[in-house]
């Protein structure tokens, strides 16, 4: 399309242009150029043409005898008007008197003083936090009140650092004297003693009967006990071969002992068989690290019993984007205490804690600490003579006898020997 103008000049619209064909218009921020022919202009473009954001970036450089100028179309120093509107420039061909109209791009040229960039880069410390920058502003432009607050805070920080250094030095001295392993053992024992008090079953120390100290309903409510009818019947019907297999597999010796001595008939047989099934779940749970919703389904565990086990003896942990039910070390102590209390109701207020600590895979000393925390009486029967094996030791027993035994600190932990 050609438009004829009054001065015998015509405008010629060029074909569609690329970014590289755009005309360049520069303006200098510090004044006007007297002689543009003395300036040498150089255009730089981004080499990453595959990146749609970077391929249109340009840097314009101008060199003169006195100063150098730099402008760009990106970053903080670029002109925003290039994005808000389009600029065009006309180029007149004096021979044909045709004026070609081209797309244009503006560059704001700023003088570059040698050494200024390096100094500004040094002043901008990349490791400075937001608090450090605010403190620098307060030092330069803050009021007297703000400066006093800043000085006070820095003095307190120095005092806190000094205190931390003194505590660290004292801790290192104690570690060097006692040894790291001995301190870790003391901490573990202290935490173990404190944890036990939070994970013991509900206790009625003022009860008149041993059966009422740790109530059976606190372990299995009437509804939960009734839901174990089918599982208890299955446990009572196990054959001698199946019991022998359970004994050989290990982990449920306490359960096998009671199943081998089940009463022939009556409510006692029904109660012990149901408690034996629930005890087997507790023992199996204590040997797990994390459990899923399928726990106990193969054994025929009722849904309400499974929910009770999850709620009472596991803690929720977030791992790999999902919630898991984990059996922590404190929950293992809780399982040991509840298993011990359940066995008391199954064996006329006595329990073989040697078999129990083997089933739970914990040390005998840990089992004894739990029994002492529950106020039980510990005893070990004298050695008896067996017909085949000769003389053998009997297992350690725990019994609930009123009044409950209160063990002191000296009885809970042996005295430490002093080394000179």
- Give 222-238 pLDDT, tens digit per residue: 999 899 888 888 888 88
- DSSP one-letter string for 109-168: EEEE-TTHHHHHHHHS-TT--HHHHHHHHHHHH--HHHHHHHHHHHHHHHHHHHHHHHHH
Quick one: pLDDT at residue 191? 54
Beta bridge partners of residue 109, listed in sequence order: 28
Closest CA to 213 of 228, 199, 203: 203
Quick one: pLDDT at residue 17? 67
Q: How far apart are CA 255 and CA 390, in angstroms?
A: 26
Quick one: pLDDT at residue 11? 63
Residue 420 has pLDDT above 60, yes or no: no
- Do residues 105 and 236 both lie within one domain? no
61 within 8 A of 70, measured Cβ to Cβ: yes
Q: How far apart are CA 216 and CA 271, in angstroms?
A: 11
% of the chain residues with pLDDT over 70: 80
Quick one: pLDDT at residue 403? 87
Q: How far apart are CA 175 and CA 179, in angstroms?
A: 5
Kindly report, residue by residue over 276-320, the tens digit of the pLDDT. Answer: 999 988 988 888 888 888 888 778 888 888 888 888 888 887 777
Q: How far apart are CA 32 and CA 174, in angstroms?
A: 76
Angle separating helix axes 267-286 and 353-360, nearest 10 degrees: 40
Quick one: pLDDT at residue 254? 87
Exposed e or buried b for every residue in 224-241, given b needs 16+ CB within 10 A?
bbebbeebbeebbebeee
Residue 385 has pLDDT above 60, yes or no: no
Q: How far apart are CA 326 and CA 54, in angstroms?
A: 51
Neighbours of 213 (CB within 10 A): 24
Exposed e or buried b for every residue in 198-211, given b needs 16+ CB within 10 A?
ebbbebeeeeeebe
Kindly report, residue by residue over 105-151, the tens digit of the pLDDT. Answer: 888 888 887 766 555 545 556 677 888 888 888 888 889 899 889 88
Residue 338 has pLDDT above 60, yes or no: yes
- Do residues 169 and 293 both lie within one domain? no
Arithmetic mean of pLDDT, 203-229: 89
- Do residues 311 and 355 both lie within one domain? yes
- Do residues 287 and 338 both lie within one domain? yes
Residue 98 has pLDDT above 60, yes or no: yes
Residue 389 has pLDDT above 50, yes or no: no
Arithmetic mean of pLDDT, 29-48: 82
Residue 14 has pLDDT above 70, yes or no: no
- Do residues 210 and 339 both lie within one domain? yes
Q: Are strands 290-291 and 322-326 parallel, antiparallel or unpaired?
A: antiparallel
- Do residues 253 and 228 both lie within one domain? yes
- Do residues 219 and 355 both lie within one domain? yes
Indicate the number of domains in the chain: 3
The secondary element (H helix, E strand) that includes residue 268 is: helix 267-286
Quick one: pLDDT at residue 188? 58
- Do residues 96 and 62 both lie within one domain? yes
Q: Which of the 8 DSSP states describes residue 11?
A: E
Q: Report yes or no on 192 lying in a domain.
A: no
- Do residues 217 and 339 both lie within one domain? yes
Residue 207 has pLDDT above 80, yes or no: yes
Q: Report yes or no on 5 lying in a domain.
A: no
Q: How far apart are CA 355 and CA 296, in angstroms?
A: 22
Give me Rg for the CA atoms of the chain. 43
Residue 387 has pLDDT above 60, yes or no: no
Summary mean pLDDT of the chain: 79
- Do residues 18 and 91 both lie within one domain? yes
- Angle made by CA atoms 85, 91, 92, in degrees to the nearest 5: 145
Residue 79 has pLDDT above 80, yes or no: no
Least trusted range by pLDDT, from 5-19, 301-315, 333-347: 5-19
% of the chain residues with pLDDT over 90: 3
More confident residue, 343 or 50: 343
Helix (H, G, I), strand (E, B) or coil at 59: strand
More confident residue, 251 or 392: 251
Quick one: pLDDT at residue 393? 47
Residue 199 has pLDDT above 70, yes or no: yes
Q: How far apart are CA 222 and CA 353, in angstroms?
A: 27
Q: Report yes or no on 410 lying in a domain.
A: no
Task: Locate all alpha helices (DSSP H) within 314-413, ordered by sequence.
Answer: 329-346, 353-360, 364-373, 409-412
Task: Locate all alpha helices (DSSP H) within 219-260, ordered by sequence.
Answer: 222-227, 229-236, 240-249, 253-260
Beta bridge partners of residue 10, listed in sequence order: 4, 98
Quick one: pLDDT at residue 322? 76
Quick one: pLDDT at residue 396? 85
Which range marks the domain in which residue 27 is found? 10-112
Residue 364 has pLDDT above 50, yes or no: yes
Q: Report yes or no on 415 lying in a domain.
A: no
Quick one: pLDDT at residue 411? 44
Q: Which of the 8 DSSP states describes residue 57?
A: -
- Do residues 322 and 213 both lie within one domain? yes
Residue 381 has pLDDT above 80, yes or no: no
- Does the model's pTM come out above 0.95? no
């Amino acid at each position: 399309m050609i438009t004829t103008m009054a001065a015998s000049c015509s405008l010629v619209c060029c074909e569609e242009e690329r970014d590289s064909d755009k005309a360049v218009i520069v303006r200098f921020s510090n004044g006007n150029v007297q002689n543009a022919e003395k300036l040498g202009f150089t255009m730089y473009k981004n080499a990453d043409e595959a990146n749609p954001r970077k391929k249109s970036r340009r840097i314009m450089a101008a060199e003169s005898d006195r100063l150098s100028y730099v402008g760009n179309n990106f970053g903080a120093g670029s002109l925003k008007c290039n994005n808000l509107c389009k600029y065009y420039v006309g180029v007149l061909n004096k021979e044909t008197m045709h004026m070609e109209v081209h797309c244009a791009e503006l560059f704001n040229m700023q003088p570059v003083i040698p050494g200024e960039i390096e100094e500004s880069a040094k002043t901008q410390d990349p490791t400075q936090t937001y608090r450090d920058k605010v403190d620098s502003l307060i030092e330069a432009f803050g009021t007297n009140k703000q400066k006093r607050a800043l000085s006070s805070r820095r003095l307190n920080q120095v005092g806190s650092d000094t205190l931390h250094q003194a505590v660290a030095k004292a801790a290192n001295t104690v570690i060097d004297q006692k040894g790291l392993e001995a301190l870790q053992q003391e901490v573990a024992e202290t935490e173990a003693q404190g944890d036990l008090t939070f994970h013991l079953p509900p206790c009625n120390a003022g009860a008149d009967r041993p059966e009422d100290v740790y109530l059976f309903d606190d372990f299995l409510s009437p509804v939960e006990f009734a839901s174990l009818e089918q599982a208890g019947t299955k446990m009572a019907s196990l054959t001698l071969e199946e019991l022998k297999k359970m004994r050989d597999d290990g982990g449920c010796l306490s359960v096998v002992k009671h199943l081998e001595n089940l009463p022939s008939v009556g409510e006692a047989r029904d109660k012990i068989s149901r408690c034996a099934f629930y005890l087997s779940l507790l023992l199996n749970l204590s040997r797990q690290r994390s459990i899923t919703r399928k726990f106990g389904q193969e054994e025929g565990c009722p849904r309400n019993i499974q929910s009770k086990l999850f709620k009472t003896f596991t803690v929720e942990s977030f791992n790999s984007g999902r919630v898991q039910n984990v059996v922590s070390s404190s929950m293992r102590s809780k399982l040991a205490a509840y298993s011990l209390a359940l066995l008391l109701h199954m064996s006329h207020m006595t329990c073989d804690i040697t078999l129990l600590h083997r089933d739970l895979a914990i040390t005998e000393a840990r089992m004894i600490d739990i029994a002492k925390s529950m106020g039980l009486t510990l005893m070990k029967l004298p050695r008896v003579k067996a017909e085949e094996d000769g003389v053998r030791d009997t297992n350690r027993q725990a019994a609930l006898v009123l009044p409950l035994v209160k063990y002191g600190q000296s009885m809970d932990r042996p005295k430490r020997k002093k080394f000179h």
